[in-house]
Amino acid sequence: MGSFSGAIMRMESQGLTHIPASRNQGHRPRASRTQPVHRKSFKISILPQACLCLMLCLVMATGMVAVHQSDALAQGGDSAAIDPSASGAANAQAVPSTEESQKPATKIPETPLEILNGLGVFVYPLGLASVLVLWVTIERLVVLRRSRVIPQPFVRRFFDHMREGHLDPKTSLQLCEENGSPISIVFAHGLRKWGKPSVEVEQAIIDGGERQTSQLRKHIRVLNGAATVAPLIGLLGTVAGMIESFNTIAAKQAMGRTEDLAAGIGLALLTTAAGLLIAIPALIMYMYFAGRVDSLIIEMDGLAQDLVDLISAEGLADQERAARSTSSSSKSTEVKKPA
């Protein structure tokens, strides 16, 4: 006690026992203008919590409704099981549905005959397109043979005789007309301009070459047309089949039977598959024949240019000068030998 009272007396002597009025008054806070702001922030902080509580209440209410519905269904099933008359009626109603569910679904065609029957009316245009593609392919394979368009034995003998000077315009023209190949016909157009300027001979060969080019490209567009139209016919058949399938299912009220829907869609897609089976080979053969014709035309153009150099006025003049130079050189050698 003495030490404690002595410490207090020392604090009083040093002036440390003075306590502010605000502390002696029980820490009563002063009036401030910031108190309304604290109330507003408190209200704002409560809003998210209130929204969360409301959402939880809604979720709980929904769960309770679902539980009540499941209980009601369970009670209904128990009552139906207890009531024999109700169960008998339910079984009687369930028998037709099971019998209907056991009916065989629409079978997807597997054999060629079933596939043809599944195509319906679209089998006629697709069949016509397939026949055209097959016919044009076989015909062009025969016509575009290189040995038929540019027979090498004829071309080799013809140019050998032309360079040796064994053929005159009439004889050479007759040989080309008798041969009848596309390259001989092109040669014949140029031979009719024998001895004319090279421009006229080239123009005649160009005219004949254009006719032969059109003949070589004949019927190839049929393949391109079939490759374009066949998938469209197949797509049209698929759309028509889908419409018919959905109408049938709607009439039977069998939307729950997925096997009927799958079988109907599979049957409808047969036309698209058939169209693609026709279009893909047709497009491949079209590209093959187009490239073959281009290569043949390039080779024919080179041979025709060689003919122009032989029968044009400029070419004949060059040949005469070459012959004169050869004869003069031979004469000079003969004159030098006696000396």
Cβ atoms of 195 and 311 within 8 Å: the answer is: yes
State the pLDDT at residue 338. 52
Rounded to an integer, what is the distance from CA 71 to the centroid of its chain?
A: 55
Residues 34, 38, 40, CA angle at the centre, nearest 5°?
115
**Alpha-carbon span 280 to 284, nearest angstrom:** 6
**Alpha-carbon span 256 to 259, nearest angstrom:** 9
pLDDT tens sequence for the chain (339 residues): 444 445 445 554 554 444 444 444 444 444 444 344 444 444 444 545 555 555 555 445 444 544 444 454 445 444 444 444 444 444 444 444 444 444 444 556 666 666 666 667 788 888 899 999 999 999 999 999 999 999 999 999 999 988 888 888 889 999 999 998 999 999 999 999 998 898 999 999 999 999 999 999 989 999 999 999 999 998 988 888 888 777 777 776 655 566 666 666 777 788 888 899 999 999 999 999 999 999 999 999 999 999 998 888 888 888 788 777 776 666 666 555 554
Cβ atoms of 182 and 212 within 8 Å: the answer is: yes
Task: Select from 149, 154, 215 the least CA-distant residue to 183.
Answer: 149
Task: Select from 157, 189, 188, 160 the least CA-distant residue to 174.
Answer: 188
Task: Determine the straight-line distance between the first and last CA of the chain, rounded to whole angstroms.
Answer: 169
82, two tokens: 């207890």
**Alpha-carbon span 31 to 26, nearest angstrom:** 15
- The amino acid at 308: V
State the pLDDT at residue 237. 86
State the pLDDT at residue 83. 46
State the pLDDT at residue 78. 46
User: Mapping DSSP to helix (H, G, I), strand (E, B) and coil, where does residue 12 land?
Assistant: helix
126, two tokens: 């697709």
60-93 as b/e: b if 16+ CB within 10 A: eeeeeeeeeeeeeeeeeeeeeeeeeeeeeeeeee
The full DSSP string for 91-128 is HHHHHHHHHHHTSPPPPPP-SHHHHHHHHGGGHHHHHH
